Chain A
Amino acid sequence: MKAAVLVFPGINRERDMARTLRLISGREPASVWHADTELPAGTDLVVIPGGFSYGDYLRCGAIAARSPIMNAVRAHAASGGLVLGVCNGFQILCEAGLLPGVLMRNGNLRFICHDVYLRVERSDTPFTRGYNAGQVVRVPVAHGEGNYIADGETIARLEGEGRVLFRYSSPDGTIDPNWNHNGAINAIAGILNERGNVFGMMPHPENHVEAAIGPTDGRGLFAGLAEVLERAA
């Protein structure tokens, strides 16, 4: 794995993400500044971490999506390279047009930080191959604007093509409005692009990887990516 973690001004989970990538892949990821125009040679995974890029001013992710480095990210994705966006990273990918839809304010209009349960919908993607389909994983959320929505046609396509990889669920995997803290349509927590190489999700798997600190359900996502990239290398 040769990961590059993008850093926009106001991003604040870049350290969490870099530590997790290092812990799981054994390799130090590169840190790439928003004003750069190229990714480090050989980058096989671009990670856009969480935070408040540009202070969330204008709209979450809107300014970051137009940063110089994003052209390189688009080119990386166009050539089939893997891109993972978490939280603000997911918002940035939507604003950049690399993923459809938008993240609105949480239904209760408040920032929410707590553990949620995610039902894994598919395990045959690079992002979810570390899990079993139907498995329920526990990871934290920390966002004020994670309420995913898109037009009906887009949602129908996402669902029809199996591009919803995680849904908010109860601990036993039931989809239930009481366990959908932000009100996302169809309880969508994470989606894949059409080509299957760009993935965005609101929760923070990078914060649940060390047994000494808490649950470790986030490991599967990174372990799966590391495995697929090591094999490719």
Chain B
Amino acid sequence: MIPNDVRITPELVAEHGLKPDEYDRILKLIGREPSLTELGIFSAMWNEHCSYKSSKVHLRTLPTKGPRVIQGPGENAGVIDIGDGLACVFKMESHNHPSYIEPYQGAATGVGGILRDVFTMGARPIACLNALSFGAPSHPKTRHLVSGVVAGIGGYGNSFGVPTVGGSVRFHSRYDGNCLVNAMAVGIARKDQIFYAAASGIGMPIVYLGSKTGRDGIHGASMASAEFDEDSEGKRPTVQVGDPFSEKLLLEACLEIMQKGCVIAIQDMGAAGLTCSAVEMGAKGDLGVTLDLDRVPCREEGMSAYEMMLSESQERMLMVLKPEKEKEAEAIFRKWGLDFAVVGETTPSKRFIVRHGGDVMADLPIKELGDQAPEYKRPFVSAAKPAAVDAESVPAPVDAIEALERLLAAPDLCSKRWVWEQYDHVILGNTVQRPGGDAAVVRIEEGPKGLALTTDVTPRYCEADPFEGGKQAVAECWRNLTAVGAKPLAITDNLNFGNPERPEIMGQFVGCIRGIAEACKALEFPVVSGNVSLYNETNGRAILPTPSIGGVGLIEDFAKSATLAFKRADETIILVGETTGWLGQSMYLRELCGQEEGAPPPVDLTEERENGDFVRALILDGAATSAHDLSDGGLLVGLAEMAMASGIGARLDAAPSDIPAHAHWFGEDQARYLVTVPADKTADVLTRARAVNVPVWAIGRTGGDTLTLAGERPILVTILRERFESWLPAYMAGEL
């Protein structure tokens, strides 16, 4: 067994990821040298992953309040009011480093962790989503990572029994050594039955529930707070192993004891396990906590206090129970075959005391562990904004149809069916809109309300201009929810960046946060939960800045939600929003011209709002028969997606003469949608738009089995579909 009274050397401090000045702070705080267990506890509480020490000062600038917000950031998940006495509980969280080291278990436990965050608050999970970023397809590890991560996400969610209804997948060489796995979970709770982490009452029993504690995942949170290098694969033992079967039992048992009124406070054991959960419960409740590790259910013999306090074994919970309900709660847990042990109690001392084998292994001030973690105002520099690309100067190497075919087969734009068919997306019987559309729609209980859900970000925009990129990520999320007819309510943000100790990375972070904050304010779309993942670098090369935005919208009657598929022939296709032909940072520029250059499209938040509100109104009053937001790939790619989803073709008018045709078809101007309306309603819809100053153009008609642009060769929708569907399966089969 690891002894507790080893000498604390500078090397040992460094191995725990603590900087010398941070260690000095510990010495000052406790007035003596810490024991090994205490050092471990500090390293777990003060690492970047748990303490947000580099990001906190900036996160405070995000708008987190709104009439619907019941609980903003700081709890296990955010909570919003969706009416009828119900609340939606949701959050997104990263599991990047573990997924790179061991893709199946890394991704699986990422899903498990975020599900636990949601049901810890008393919500039954109803949907999962994810946002995945992988290295270049040509990188030797990419296929292995895609295969493992997708199987891991499916393996956990499918078995747990929650539909995985949406997400995004992208490829870029900047993720070669550091893939991103961001998992989002959404649950429904009764508004008056939300559970929090703050303990209350002195002498209350602290109960350990769920699976046993093993040696897995020790220092996982510290690993997630360091850069990668060649030796990172040696960190595999720090990746936890997931057991969705236990988690499903834990869910049912937790919801049952919550319903029976047994629970005062509850916290799941995620990063830094027992340490983090116990400290948070005490610190938030202004109470001390004493733990007796002799009572912790262990999977292995001879575990030391240090190991138990840092283990990240999965599927575990810590609760403060009402003493009079202890027996009832225990019976419920025994019924589900789960461990149940009283491992401590709340105290008035505000000390965090850990006993093991009759000795005190740690005795620390509980508030300071949580509240007085270091907080840094790290220096940052903002990169110069790139100049806008003049569309006239961008070559058009191939005709528009050829360009469309190539774009639809591009890794980032092609169909992700190969991925989402490995996720059970129909379980629970409430999936109204399945993966493949702008946003998923799930029915709430027996309806008629529905939730719209999506994840979005365009990292290449964030790289070129963090502020505009941050705005765009939020705006696109808002637009995707709007395009199915939902009212966007709130977001969760999962901020993935490189090493914050580098001023240019910190500059990206600060810029993106400013952009996110501005868009959230303008669109009344508050941030209610989130997660920061820094140090996403390998050998000094950072990922693209990737602030994934997970959005939730509400639709009063899910039957009114719109899909992107054309519904019938001879309807008018209407383009909503201004088209300037913005090719800077576009998929066209990257995939056809091999350039990743220029400023990204600017986002006018007033236009976003006006255009979106107009489109939503058209959907809800039944005027629009289909709707689709325009984003990556621009107008023609969006149009092809509507045709492919329906099998119905379209005939489009010629591009206007004032901008180059390829810029018209493939530019990525923001705040745009395509909608279809019956021919006899066209004039009415155009008039309505003009009355509210929303720019609209009737650009063509649905019908036939080809996509036909004036002056170009027609192409069969079936051929487009073939291009769209074949790249990913062929790539994963090793044929490319």
Contacts and interface: CB of A to CB of B under 8 A. Distances in A.
Given A111-B155, A212-B558, A52 B423 contact: no
B420 to A, nearest CB: 8
The winner among B151, B155, B159 for most chain A CB atoms within 10 A is B159
B426 A110 contact: no
B429 A112 contact: no
B424 A113 contact: yes
A40 interface: no
A9 interface: yes
A154 to B, nearest CB: 29
Interface in A188-218: 204, 206-207, 209-210, 212-214
B732 to A, nearest CB: 10
Contacts of B421: 112-114
Contacts of B553: none
B208 interface: no
Contacts of B472: none
Given A51-B161, A55-B245, A112-B421, A12 B427 contact: yes
B558 to A, nearest CB: 7
Nearest to A56: B159
Interface string A170-187: 000000000000000000
A19 B429 contact: yes
B430 A213 contact: yes
A113 B245 contact: no
A111 B245 contact: no
A16 B163 CA distance: 12
A209 B429 CA distance: 9
A15 interface: yes
A167 interface: no
Contact of A10 (B245, B426, B428): B245
B423 A10 contact: no
A55 B243 contact: yes
A52 B154 contact: no
B422 A112 contact: yes
Contacts of A19: 429
B545 interface: no
Contact of B159 (A55, A212, A213): A55
Contact of A52 (B245, B430, B447): B245
B161 A110 contact: no
Nearest to B425: A113
B422 A210 contact: no
A213 B155 CA distance: 25
A10 B158 contact: no
A140 B422 CA distance: 13
B159 A16 contact: no
A204 B426 contact: yes
Given A10-B159, A112-B422, A212 B447 contact: yes
B240 interface: no
Nearest to B252: A9
B429 A142 contact: no
B425 A12 contact: no
Interface residues of A, number: 30
Contacts of A210: 429
B245 A16 contact: no
Contacts of A12: 159-161, 248, 427
A163 interface: no
Which size class do B's interface residues fall under?
Answer: 20 to 34
A13 interface: yes
Contact of B158 (A9, A16, A54, A142): A142
B17 interface: no
Given A51-B161, A113-B422, A10 B427 contact: no
B210 interface: no
Contacts of A114: 421
Which among A113, A142, A144 has the greatest number of chain B C-beta atoms within 10 A? A113
Q: Which residue among B248, B423, B558 has the maximum number of chain A CB atoms within 10 Å of its CB?
A: B248
A106 B430 CA distance: 26
Nearest to A20: B429
Nearest to A33: B335
B422 A213 contact: no
Nearest to B418: A110
Nearest to A112: B421
Contacts of B654: none
Contacts of B425: 113
A55 B108 CA distance: 14
Given A9-B245, A10-B248, A110 B429 contact: no
Contacts of B151: 110-111
B429 A206 contact: yes
B400 interface: no
A216 B71 CA distance: 39
B426 A111 contact: no
Nearest to B443: A213
A153 to B, nearest CB: 34
Contacts of B428: 15-16
B86 interface: no
Contacts of A9: 245, 248-249, 336-337
B119 to A, nearest CB: 14
B422 A13 contact: no
B443 to A, nearest CB: 7
A15 B124 CA distance: 13
A207 B447 CA distance: 16
A213 B426 CA distance: 10
Contacts of B598: none
B432 interface: yes
Interface string B242-256: 011110110000000
Given A10-B245, A113-B421, A16 B427 contact: yes
Nearest to A210: B429
B431 interface: yes
B710 interface: no
B559 interface: yes
A10 B160 CA distance: 8
Contacts of A214: 432
Contacts of B424: 111, 113, 142
A52 B159 contact: yes
Interface of B: 151, 154-155, 158-161, 243-246, 248-249, 336-337, 420-432, 443, 447, 558-559
Given A111-B151, A112-B421, A144-B158, 18 more contacts: A10-B249, A12-B160, A16-B427, A51-B161, A52-B158, A54-B245, A55-B243, A110-B151, A111-B423, A112-B422, A113-B158, A113-B422, A113-B423, A113-B424, A113-B426, A142-B424, A204-B426, A207-B429
5 contacts: A9-B249, A52-B161, A52-B244, A56-B245, A207-B426
Q: What 3 pairs between A and B have smallest CB-CB spacing? A: A12-B161, A55-B245, A142-B424
